[in-house]
Amino acid sequence: MAIEVLRCPNCAAPLPPGTRGEVVCEYCRHVLTNVPTATGYRWVAGDERPPDDGLQRVHVDGRTFALLGRIARGDASDVFLARRDKRLTELVVLKALRAREDADLLTNEWRALTALHDSEAQGADFFRRMLPQPVAHGPLTGTGEKTLATVYRWRSGFSYTLDDVARAHPRGVDPRAAVWMWKRALELLGWVHHSGYVHGALTPAHLLVHPRDHGLTFVGWGTCATVREGKLPALSATATDYYADETRARRAATPATDLVTLARSIARVLGGDPARGSVPTSVPAPVAELVIEYAGRRRCEGVVGDAWALKERVAEASRAAFGPDRYVKFTMPA
């Protein structure tokens, strides 16, 4: 009796006997599909199927992705919307390194997010879903030159940064909208801190909002650090107005660091000046005073770095300014 030996068409490594359907090769990490032929079945690699849509194909960690378009440009990376190039596809966000000297930051981001997804801090089952969901990390090929990339699952609705919000509302958003943004950020931030990490760069470009569902999440984890390390690996050269003095001097990375930076981002969407920590006089006093208390600090010294406690203070200020909580519609231009 003949013994069927199944092998990967990409690297010739053996596949488990009796394998059918779709499988990932344990050696080269290519996604393989078992397709029918005139004489039986054969395996094909996910990138063997010829593209017919004119989209550029790139490869990360043995997986193929079709680029749909660039959606953001960071200090060191370009961010693309893409899709998995396979029969059962999915939308993803592909972050490709542009400045090779910053490869350590992209690797730092992957390690931190992987560790946070393994966190068992209180609320982990909920808050893990609010983080970028890792898909692949490794050398990027298919662009003509080799670089580094990280791939995350696409989350529908989180299409706007607070930079986008500030540009769309130059006079400031409704303070009630700024309150829910602040509260959502503090909820997630408290869990991140309890998991042992400081984000370090909660600037408007790294805060994504879901206008309809009042959701908020963080991106830009490349400069994060553990609370134990006490020092950020880098700062954003284009966002110095959002950092306190210790952060700019690269002397501190504490939960208080995040609270001050976040408050300055909230000041920005309220139409204020993040560098001075000021807000317009139209913002009701209970909310304005709390924003200024944190955003107006030049130093983090003396700031209590408890995000969940601050979230309760924001809720109290909101009730004092606007009464009982209620849904406030917030929209962005298409």
pLDDT tens string 25-37: 766 666 666 655 5
pLDDT at 238 over 50: yes
Percent of the chain predicted with pLDDT > 90: 61
- Residue 130 one-letter amino acid: M
What is the average pLDDT score of the chain? 87
Average pLDDT of span 295-316: 92
Which whole number is the average pLDDT over 267-272? 97
pLDDT tens digits, 96-136: 998 888 899 999 999 999 999 999 999 999 999 999 999 99
Q: pLDDT class for 311, splitting at 50, 70, 90?
A: very high
* pLDDT classification of 48: cutoffs 50, 70, 90: very low
- What pLDDT was estimated at residue 308? 97
pLDDT at 23 over 80: no
Q: Which fold has domain 1-49?
A: Rubrerythrin, domain 2 (2.20.28)
pLDDT, mean of residues 46-72: 79
Q: What is the pLDDT of residue 89?
A: 82
- Report whether CATH 1.10.510.10 matches the domain 160-322: yes
What pLDDT is stored for residue 248 in this prediction?
83
Residue 2 predicted with pLDDT over 50:
no
Do 57-153 and 1-49 have the same topology in CATH? no
CB atoms within 10 A of CB 205: 22
- pLDDT of 47: 47
What's domain 57-153's architecture? 2-Layer Sandwich (3.30)
Say whether 125 sits in a helix, a strand or coil. Answer: helix
Is residue 7 very low, low, confident or very high in pLDDT (cuts 50, 70, 90)?
confident
Domains of the chain by residue range? 1-49, 57-153, 160-322
Tens digits of residue pLDDT in 180-206: 999 999 999 999 999 999 999 999 999
Task: State the pLDDT at residue 50.
Answer: 45
> How do the residues of the chain divide into helix, strand and coil, expressed in percent and rounded to 5?
30, 25, 45
What 3-state class would DSSP assign to 149?
strand
Q: Alpha-carbon Rg of the chain, whole angstroms?
A: 23
- Asked if the model's pLDDT at residue 10 lies above 80, the reply is no
Number of H helices, E strands in the chain: 8, 14
Would you place residue 55 in the very low, low, confident or very high pLDDT band (cuts 50, 70, 90)?
confident
Which of 334, 326, 18 is closest to 177 using CA atoms? 326
DSSP 90: -
pLDDT, mean of residues 75-98: 89
When pLDDT is cut at 50, 70 and 90, the band that residue 52 belongs to is low
What pLDDT is attached to residue 34? 64
Going 173 to 179 to 181 to 182, the CA torsion angle's sign is positive
Q: Does residue 279 contact residue 313 with C-beta atoms inside 8 Å? A: no
CA–CA distance, 265 with 259 (Å, rounded to integer): 10
pLDDT above 60 (res 246): yes
Residue with tokens 């009730």: 319
